[in-house]
Structure 1
Amino acid sequence: MSNPSPQPQPSAPLSAADDRQWGSLAHILGILGIVPALVIWLIFKDRGSFTDTEGKEALNFQITLLAADLLGYILVVVGIGFLILPVVFVVRIVFSIIAFLKAKDGHNYRYPFAVRLIK
Protein backbone atom coordinates (compact mmCIF):
# COMPACT_ATOMS: atom_id res chain seq x y z
CA MET A 1 0.00 0.00 0.00
CA SER A 2 1.47 3.34 -0.98
CA ASN A 3 1.47 6.43 1.17
CA PRO A 4 -0.56 9.25 -0.31
CA SER A 5 1.64 12.21 -1.14
CA PRO A 6 1.00 15.31 0.92
CA GLN A 7 -1.13 17.90 -0.80
CA PRO A 8 0.44 21.34 -1.27
CA GLN A 9 -0.96 23.91 1.08
CA PRO A 10 -2.27 27.19 -0.31
CA SER A 11 0.00 30.13 0.37
CA ALA A 12 -1.02 32.61 3.02
CA PRO A 13 -2.54 35.89 1.84
CA LEU A 14 -0.20 38.86 1.76
CA SER A 15 -0.47 41.51 4.43
CA ALA A 16 -1.64 44.92 3.19
CA ALA A 17 1.93 46.25 3.36
CA ASP A 18 3.37 43.26 1.48
CA ASP A 19 0.58 43.50 -1.09
CA ARG A 20 1.49 47.15 -1.75
CA GLN A 21 5.20 46.30 -1.82
CA TRP A 22 4.90 43.52 -4.41
CA GLY A 23 2.43 45.53 -6.49
CA SER A 24 4.80 48.49 -6.63
CA LEU A 25 7.84 46.28 -7.31
CA ALA A 26 6.04 44.84 -10.34
CA HIS A 27 6.13 48.35 -11.78
CA ILE A 28 9.64 49.50 -10.91
CA LEU A 29 11.29 46.22 -11.86
CA GLY A 30 9.68 46.66 -15.27
CA ILE A 31 12.70 48.82 -16.03
CA LEU A 32 14.50 45.50 -16.43
CA GLY A 33 11.90 44.20 -18.90
CA ILE A 34 8.92 41.89 -18.93
CA VAL A 35 10.29 39.01 -16.80
CA PRO A 36 10.13 40.63 -13.31
CA ALA A 37 6.52 41.75 -13.76
CA LEU A 38 5.56 38.30 -15.07
CA VAL A 39 7.26 36.46 -12.20
CA ILE A 40 5.75 38.74 -9.52
CA TRP A 41 2.28 38.46 -11.00
CA LEU A 42 2.44 34.67 -11.38
CA ILE A 43 3.71 34.12 -7.83
CA PHE A 44 1.55 36.63 -5.95
CA LYS A 45 -1.63 37.11 -8.02
CA ASP A 46 -3.66 34.76 -5.82
CA ARG A 47 -2.24 36.10 -2.56
CA GLY A 48 -3.09 39.80 -2.86
CA SER A 49 -5.68 41.69 -4.89
CA PHE A 50 -3.52 44.83 -5.17
CA THR A 51 -0.56 42.81 -6.45
CA ASP A 52 -2.86 41.01 -8.88
CA THR A 53 -4.19 44.29 -10.28
CA GLU A 54 -0.86 46.11 -10.40
CA GLY A 55 1.03 43.06 -11.66
CA LYS A 56 -1.39 42.69 -14.57
CA GLU A 57 -1.12 46.39 -15.38
CA ALA A 58 2.69 46.29 -15.27
CA LEU A 59 2.75 43.11 -17.34
CA ASN A 60 0.45 44.58 -20.00
CA PHE A 61 2.60 47.70 -20.21
CA GLN A 62 5.75 45.62 -20.58
CA ILE A 63 4.10 43.52 -23.32
CA THR A 64 3.25 46.76 -25.15
CA LEU A 65 6.82 48.00 -24.82
CA LEU A 66 8.20 44.65 -25.93
CA ALA A 67 6.15 44.97 -29.12
CA ALA A 68 7.48 48.53 -29.59
CA ASP A 69 11.05 47.29 -29.05
CA LEU A 70 10.59 44.54 -31.63
CA LEU A 71 9.15 47.04 -34.10
CA GLY A 72 12.11 49.34 -33.44
CA TYR A 73 14.61 46.56 -34.06
CA ILE A 74 12.88 45.63 -37.30
CA LEU A 75 12.79 49.26 -38.44
CA VAL A 76 16.50 49.75 -37.76
CA VAL A 77 16.93 48.44 -41.28
CA VAL A 78 15.27 51.57 -42.71
CA GLY A 79 16.74 53.94 -40.13
CA ILE A 80 13.56 54.73 -38.18
CA GLY A 81 14.34 52.16 -35.49
CA PHE A 82 17.22 54.29 -34.25
CA LEU A 83 14.60 56.88 -33.28
CA ILE A 84 12.06 54.46 -31.82
CA LEU A 85 14.37 52.45 -29.54
CA PRO A 86 15.62 55.36 -27.38
CA VAL A 87 12.06 56.67 -27.00
CA VAL A 88 10.84 53.26 -25.81
CA PHE A 89 13.76 53.10 -23.38
CA VAL A 90 12.92 56.49 -21.84
CA VAL A 91 9.17 55.73 -21.74
CA ARG A 92 9.89 52.44 -19.94
CA ILE A 93 11.92 54.19 -17.24
CA VAL A 94 9.70 57.25 -16.75
CA PHE A 95 6.36 55.46 -16.61
CA SER A 96 7.72 52.61 -14.45
CA ILE A 97 8.91 55.16 -11.89
CA ILE A 98 5.60 57.06 -11.96
CA ALA A 99 3.65 53.80 -11.53
CA PHE A 100 5.93 52.69 -8.69
CA LEU A 101 5.45 55.97 -6.82
CA LYS A 102 1.65 55.71 -7.10
CA ALA A 103 1.50 52.02 -6.22
CA LYS A 104 3.79 52.27 -3.19
CA ASP A 105 1.24 54.69 -1.72
CA GLY A 106 -1.54 52.17 -2.35
CA HIS A 107 -3.07 53.83 -5.42
CA ASN A 108 -3.89 51.82 -8.52
CA TYR A 109 -2.05 53.07 -11.58
CA ARG A 110 -3.19 52.77 -15.19
CA TYR A 111 -0.60 53.43 -17.84
CA PRO A 112 -1.83 55.99 -20.38
CA PHE A 113 -1.28 53.45 -23.15
CA ALA A 114 -1.02 49.70 -22.94
CA VAL A 115 -2.49 46.81 -24.83
CA ARG A 116 -4.37 45.02 -22.07
CA LEU A 117 -4.01 41.38 -23.08
CA ILE A 118 -4.02 40.07 -19.50
CA LYS A 119 -7.45 40.74 -17.99
Structure 2
Amino acid sequence: MTSPIPDPSGQSLTPTSDERTWAVLGHLAAIVAAIVSVGWLSFVGPLVIWAIYKDRSAFVRQAAAGSFNFNLAVWVAIIAGWIMFFTVILIPIALIVWFVAVVAALWYHVRAAMAAGRGESFLYPWGIPVLH
Protein backbone atom coordinates (compact mmCIF):
# COMPACT_ATOMS: atom_id res chain seq x y z
CA MET A 1 0.00 0.00 0.00
CA THR A 2 2.91 2.38 0.48
CA SER A 3 5.77 3.08 -1.88
CA PRO A 4 8.06 5.92 -2.93
CA ILE A 5 6.78 8.17 -5.69
CA PRO A 6 8.39 7.26 -9.04
CA ASP A 7 9.28 10.08 -11.40
CA PRO A 8 8.65 9.78 -15.18
CA SER A 9 12.14 8.33 -15.72
CA GLY A 10 11.35 5.44 -13.36
CA GLN A 11 13.56 6.60 -10.48
CA SER A 12 12.02 7.22 -7.10
CA LEU A 13 11.82 10.77 -5.79
CA THR A 14 12.33 11.61 -2.15
CA PRO A 15 9.83 14.26 -1.05
CA THR A 16 11.11 17.26 0.86
CA SER A 17 10.12 17.93 4.44
CA ASP A 18 7.68 20.60 3.27
CA GLU A 19 6.08 18.18 0.80
CA ARG A 20 5.74 15.51 3.48
CA THR A 21 4.09 18.04 5.81
CA TRP A 22 1.56 19.12 3.19
CA ALA A 23 0.85 15.51 2.23
CA VAL A 24 0.19 14.67 5.91
CA LEU A 25 -2.14 17.68 6.08
CA GLY A 26 -3.85 16.50 2.89
CA HIS A 27 -4.74 13.25 4.61
CA LEU A 28 -5.60 14.69 8.03
CA ALA A 29 -7.55 17.67 6.65
CA ALA A 30 -10.35 15.26 5.84
CA ILE A 31 -10.66 14.21 9.48
CA VAL A 32 -10.55 17.80 10.74
CA ALA A 33 -13.13 18.96 8.19
CA ALA A 34 -15.36 15.99 9.01
CA ILE A 35 -15.27 16.86 12.72
CA VAL A 36 -15.94 20.55 12.10
CA SER A 37 -18.79 19.90 9.64
CA VAL A 38 -20.17 16.72 11.22
CA GLY A 39 -18.94 14.72 8.24
CA TRP A 40 -20.47 16.70 5.41
CA LEU A 41 -17.41 18.64 4.24
CA SER A 42 -14.68 16.05 4.72
CA PHE A 43 -13.62 16.40 1.09
CA VAL A 44 -12.99 20.17 1.21
CA GLY A 45 -9.59 20.09 2.98
CA PRO A 46 -7.99 17.62 0.56
CA LEU A 47 -9.55 19.48 -2.39
CA VAL A 48 -8.03 22.81 -1.31
CA ILE A 49 -4.59 21.25 -0.80
CA TRP A 50 -4.84 19.48 -4.16
CA ALA A 51 -5.79 22.76 -5.89
CA ILE A 52 -2.84 24.60 -4.33
CA TYR A 53 -0.21 21.89 -4.89
CA LYS A 54 -1.39 20.12 -8.06
CA ASP A 55 1.28 21.80 -10.19
CA ARG A 56 3.95 22.17 -7.49
CA SER A 57 4.43 18.66 -6.11
CA ALA A 58 3.45 15.26 -7.48
CA PHE A 59 3.75 13.79 -3.97
CA VAL A 60 1.32 16.27 -2.38
CA ARG A 61 -1.01 16.11 -5.39
CA GLN A 62 -1.21 12.31 -5.16
CA ALA A 63 -1.80 12.40 -1.39
CA ALA A 64 -4.55 15.04 -1.57
CA ALA A 65 -6.21 13.41 -4.60
CA GLY A 66 -6.24 10.01 -2.89
CA SER A 67 -7.71 11.52 0.26
CA PHE A 68 -10.36 13.39 -1.74
CA ASN A 69 -11.35 10.35 -3.81
CA PHE A 70 -11.55 8.15 -0.70
CA ASN A 71 -13.69 10.77 1.05
CA LEU A 72 -16.14 10.79 -1.82
CA ALA A 73 -16.64 7.04 -1.37
CA VAL A 74 -17.11 7.51 2.39
CA TRP A 75 -19.53 10.35 1.71
CA VAL A 76 -21.58 8.13 -0.64
CA ALA A 77 -21.69 5.40 2.03
CA ILE A 78 -22.94 7.89 4.61
CA ILE A 79 -25.64 9.17 2.25
CA ALA A 80 -26.67 5.57 1.53
CA GLY A 81 -26.90 5.11 5.29
CA TRP A 82 -29.21 8.12 5.54
CA ILE A 83 -31.42 6.73 2.79
CA MET A 84 -31.62 3.42 4.65
CA PHE A 85 -32.30 5.26 7.90
CA PHE A 86 -35.32 7.03 6.42
CA THR A 87 -36.85 3.73 5.33
CA VAL A 88 -37.13 2.96 9.08
CA ILE A 89 -36.92 -0.80 8.63
CA LEU A 90 -33.27 -0.52 7.53
CA ILE A 91 -32.15 1.56 10.52
CA PRO A 92 -29.94 -1.25 11.93
CA ILE A 93 -28.16 -1.59 8.57
CA ALA A 94 -27.77 2.19 8.34
CA LEU A 95 -26.09 2.24 11.75
CA ILE A 96 -23.66 -0.46 10.62
CA VAL A 97 -22.89 1.39 7.37
CA TRP A 98 -22.21 4.61 9.29
CA PHE A 99 -20.01 2.84 11.81
CA VAL A 100 -17.96 1.10 9.12
CA ALA A 101 -17.62 4.31 7.07
CA VAL A 102 -16.43 6.37 10.05
CA VAL A 103 -14.01 3.75 11.35
CA ALA A 104 -12.60 3.13 7.86
CA ALA A 105 -12.18 6.86 7.27
CA LEU A 106 -10.30 7.35 10.53
CA TRP A 107 -8.18 4.22 10.10
CA TYR A 108 -7.11 4.85 6.52
CA HIS A 109 -6.53 8.59 6.91
CA VAL A 110 -4.27 8.04 9.92
CA ARG A 111 -2.37 5.25 8.13
CA ALA A 112 -2.02 7.46 5.04
CA ALA A 113 -0.79 10.41 7.11
CA MET A 114 1.81 8.20 8.80
CA ALA A 115 3.00 6.94 5.40
CA ALA A 116 3.20 10.50 4.07
CA GLY A 117 5.25 11.51 7.10
CA ARG A 118 7.76 8.82 6.12
CA GLY A 119 7.79 10.10 2.53
CA GLU A 120 5.80 7.15 1.16
CA SER A 121 2.72 7.27 -1.00
CA PHE A 122 -0.43 5.54 0.22
CA LEU A 123 -3.02 3.81 -1.93
CA TYR A 124 -6.49 3.95 -0.36
CA PRO A 125 -8.44 0.67 -0.65
CA TRP A 126 -11.33 2.28 -2.51
CA GLY A 127 -12.39 5.63 -3.83
CA ILE A 128 -14.29 7.38 -6.57
CA PRO A 129 -11.52 8.48 -8.97
CA VAL A 130 -12.29 12.13 -9.63
CA LEU A 131 -8.94 13.79 -8.93
CA HIS A 132 -5.59 12.52 -10.17
TM bucket (normalised to shorter chain) is 0.7 to 0.9
Q: Which amino acid aligns with 1:17?
A: S
Counterpart residue number, 1:9: none
| Whole-angstrom CA distance in 2 between matches of 1:29 and 1:49 | 18
Whole-Å separation in 2 of the counterparts to 1:58 and 1:71: 20
Answer 1 or 2: which has greater strand percent. Answer: 2
Q: Which structure ranks higher in relative contact order (CA pairs < 8 Å, sequence separation ≥ 6)? A: 2
Partner of 1:12: none
Structure label with greater radius of gyration: 1
Distance in 2, matches of 1:115 and 1:39, equals 17
Give, in whole Å, the separation in 2 of the partners of 1:53 and 1:112: 14
What is the CA–CA distance in structure 2 between the aligned matches of 1:60 and 1:52, rounded to whole Å? Answer: 12
Q: Which amino acid aligns with 2:125?
A: P
Counterparts of 2:131 and 2:44, CA distance in 1: 15
- Please list, as runs of the form range in 1=range in 2, the aligned pairs for 1:70-81 lying within 5 A after superposition: 70-77=79-86, 78-79=90-91, 80-81=93-94
Aligned to 1:112: 125
TM-score normalized by structure 2? 0.74
Aligned to 1:7: none
C-alpha RMSD over aligned residues: 1.4
What stretches of structure 2 of length at least 5 have no aligned partner?
Answer: 1-14, 35-41
Q: Secondary structure of 1:97's partner?
A: helix
% of aligned pairs identical? 28
Structure 2: distance between partners of 1:99 and 1:83: 24
Q: 1:90 aligns with which of 91, 99, 103?
A: 103
Give the equivalent residue in structure 2 for 1:39: 48
Aligned to 1:102: 115
Alignment partner of 1:52 is 2:65: no
> Which residue of the partner structure matches residue 17 of structure 1?
17
Give, in whole Å, the separation in 2 of the partners of 1:38 and 1:118. Answer: 9
List runs of 5+ in structure 1 lacking aligned partners.
1-14
